[in-house]
Every structure is written in C-alpha cells, then in structure tokens.
Amino acid sequence: MADQREKKVGVRFHGRVEAEGRLCSEPGCQEAGEFRAPLLEGVGSGHEGPRPYRWLCLDHVRAFNAGYNFFSGMSPDEIHDAQRPFAGWERETRAFTGTGGADRPPKWADFADPLDAIGARFQRRQEEVRRDGRPLSEVDRRSLKVLGLATDVDRRGLRSRYAELVRRYHPDRNGGDRSHEKALQEVIAAYTQLKGAAAFA
C-alpha cells in the first residue's frame, strides 16, 4: 500500500504543481510542465498585475535556475554593497507604535481599576485639545513645546513668540556668539511646522 501511495505522489520537489495535462513550454519538450518560471525579459511588458509566467518540466526549470544571475548588470561596487550582511539596514523606516492615536499604554499594575488605566491613555490627548476645536498633531505639540507656547495660542501669538526667540538666539543679536545656533535651528523648524499646520491656517 505504501508503494502504491509513493507511485501516485511521486518524488516531491519544492514548487511542484500537478500538471493535469499541461506540457512544458520549452519547444519540443513533451514532459509535464509542473514548475512555474517567469517569462523572459521584455515579454509581456506593459502587463498590469503580477508578471506572467510559464510552466516548465523539472529539467528545464533546473536549467532556467542555473542561468539566473541576481548580479547581472551590476558593477563590482554595487555587487559588494548588495552582499554586505547589513545591506538595507541603514535606511530609516517609519516606526509603528500601535497606540491608535493615544498615549503609550500605562502599566496596569499602577492602577487598581482597569477603567482608570484605559482613561489614562487618552488623558493627555484630551487636555491638549484646542478651545477652537482645530486639530493638533503630535508634531504640532512638540513644536509648541519647543517655542514654549500653550496649545491655544493664535497665529499672532505664534509670530510674536517666534520673533522674540529669533532675537534671543541669533548670532547677530549676540555679538556673533554662535553657541545658541542649535536652539535657533529648532525654533525655526518648529515655527515652519506650525505656520503650515491646520490649527493656524
């Protein structure tokens, strides 16, 4: 019985799909086409969706795989860069916090009542809502903090505070002292962020 089952299943290979009458797409081959391979470069260009593929027998898919070269067309420097063990890690990626717009979750052990813990997640967000109802993003809040402003400041107050801090930190107003340059850059970045924000439109 085990022999019959082995004959029916045959030798297993990764990626094999039962042919059901489908022949190998190599011209003149009469073997079953059980392995998928992409079409040659340039064939099916302009096709929307996944790239089209063809079906090959085991021998022809082995020959196809043997001729594949990932580094084809690359310079020696590009090949070296692609083979570094940490290739791609230097690119900055967006952090996903999974907080759903709330503050970071508190420690449950700090609360006797679970409802208090849930409410604590949204407490800071509720306190920082503007009276006029205009939205403030987390970046807007950080920028207001850099400028030392409350969440309800208006556009005139924003401009006034910006002018005051520029005068305070600018080297031309401090006898050429450049020790406040970093603070000045932070103030300029914060003001640039806020003057284009929805809350100050």
Residue 81 domain flag: no
Q: Could you tell me which residue, 104 or 116, shows the higher pLDDT?
A: 116
Question: Which amino acid appears at position 194 of this protein?
Answer: L
Q: Are residues 137 and 196 in the same domain?
A: yes
Q: Are residues 17 and 61 in the same domain?
A: yes
Residue 126 domain flag: yes
Reported confidence tier of residue 9, pLDDT bands at 50, 70, 90: very low
Q: Are residues 7 and 47 in the same domain?
A: yes
Number of domains in the chain: 3
Of the three residues 11, 42, 66, the one that is the final residue of a domain is 66
Of the three residues 82, 115, 131, the one that is the final residue of a domain is 131
Q: How far is CA 28 from CA 17, 31, 44, 57, 67, in A?
A: 21, 9, 22, 12, 20
Rounded Cα distance between 8 and 183, Å, is: 75
Reported confidence tier of residue 73, pLDDT bands at 50, 70, 90: confident
Residue 174 domain flag: yes
pLDDT at 141: 87
Report the CATH number at residue 148: 1.10.287.110
Q: Are residues 167 and 182 in the same domain?
A: yes
Q: Could you tell me which residue, 48 or 96, shows the higher pLDDT?
A: 48
Contacts of 32 (CB under 8 A, 6+ apart): 19, 22, 23, 24, 57
Most confident of 28-42, 90-104, 180-194: 180-194
Q: Are residues 124 and 158 in the same domain?
A: no
* Helical axes 138-147 vs 155-169, angle rounded to 10°: 50
| Tokens standing for residue 164 | 């005051």
Mean pLDDT of 166-177: 84
Q: Are residues 112 and 139 in the same domain?
A: no
- Owning domain of residue 60: 2-66
Mean pLDDT of 188-196: 91
